[in-house]
Amino acid sequence: MKKSRLIALLSALMILAAMVVVVGCGSSDDSSSGSGDFQSELITEGTLTVGSDIPYAPFEMGQAPDYTGFDIELVDDIAKRLDLDVKIEDTAFDTIFTDVAQGKFDMVASAATITPEREQQVNFSDPYFESEQALLVPPGSDITSVEDLSGKTVAAQDGTTGEAYANDETDAGQVRGFPTGAAAIAAVVNGQADAAIIDAPVAEDAASKGQAGFEIATNIPTGEYYGFAFAKNTPELLKAVNGALSDLIDDGTYEKLFKKYFNATPPASITDGTASADTGTTDEG
C-alpha cells in the first residue's frame, strides 16, 4: 500500500514538472516573438506607410519622394531601427486622423497635437515635441494680443488646434479656415485676414527664412505636445514605435535633429520623459 502511494506521488510530481517545462518554454517563445508582432499590423509587409500634410516647414517639406523635415527624419530613423522601409503619403490635415483610423496609413507624422478629442479616434505615441501657438499680424498692426481680436477676421489652418483656439478662446468676428499653414500666413500678408493663429515653430521658421508681410505679435502658451497617431487596432506597432523613439532620444539622435531644425536645445519634458502621452500635458499638471 505504501509502495503504491509512493509510485502515485512520484508520477504526480513528474507530470507537474513536465507542465512547468512546457509553460516555461511557452513564455520564452512569446517574449522572443513579441518584437515582431507589429509586422502583422502593417498595411504592407516591411513598409511603414505614413500620412503627412506637406508642406508644414520645418516639420515636413520638399517634393515627393524626397521629403525632409524634423518629423520626416524622425520617422526615417524610427523605421531604420525597426528594419522597415518608409512610404510617405501627402494628405490634407483636416481628414488625416479619420484616414489613419480607417487604415489608410500605418501612422500619422504631421506635427499633430495630442488632444483628448483626437484620442477618442486614434492612439498617440509618446510626445516628441513641445509647442505653443503664435499670433501673426501685418507689420504695424495694433493687434498685440488675443484680447485685441474682438470682431477681427482670424486665419488658421483647417482642423488644427490653432483653429480651435481661435474659435473657442477669442472673440474673433470670423475665423477663416485655410487648407495649409502657409495659406493662413498668406491670408495675413494679402490682407484677407487681420491676424492668424498657427503653431509657433511654423511661424518662427517662416520668419527666420525672411518671409515678409507679417510679424509675430506674441506667442500663446497652450502647453501642447505633438505625437505620432495610430489606428486603435495597431497596439503592437504603437509599442514598437515608442520603443524606437525612446532609443533615439536616449542615444542623442533626437537632440541632434532638434538642434539641426530649431537651433536650440530640446526641452526636458521630452528628453526626460516628463510629458504625458495621455493628456498632452506635463506630469506636473
Q: In percent, how much of the chain has pLDDT > 70?
A: 84
Q: What is the pLDDT of residues 107-128, one digit of tens each?
A: 999 999 999 999 999 999 999 9
Q: What is the pLDDT of residues 60-99, one digit of tens each?
A: 999 999 999 999 999 999 999 999 999 999 999 999 999 9
- Specify whether the CB–CB gap between 233 and 41 falls below 8 A: yes
Burial call 137-170: b when 16+ CB within 10 Å, e when fewer: bbeebebeebebbeebbbbbbbbbbbbbbbeeeb
User: CA nearest 126: which of 283, 258, 252?
Assistant: 283
CATH code: domain 132-222 is: 3.40.190.10
CATH topology for 40-128+227-271 is D-Maltodextrin-Binding Protein; domain 2 (3.40.190)
Q: Give the C-alpha separation, 41 to 43, whole Å.
A: 7
Q: What is the pLDDT of residues 22-64, one digit of tens each?
A: 334 443 333 333 456 999 999 999 999 999 999 999 999 999 9
Domain boundaries, the chain: 40-128+227-271, 132-222
* Amino acid (1-letter code) at residue 235: P
40-128+227-271 and 132-222: identical CATH topology = yes
- What is the per-residue pLDDT for 275? 81
CB count in 10 Å sphere of residue 77: 18
- How many residues does the structure list for the chain? 285
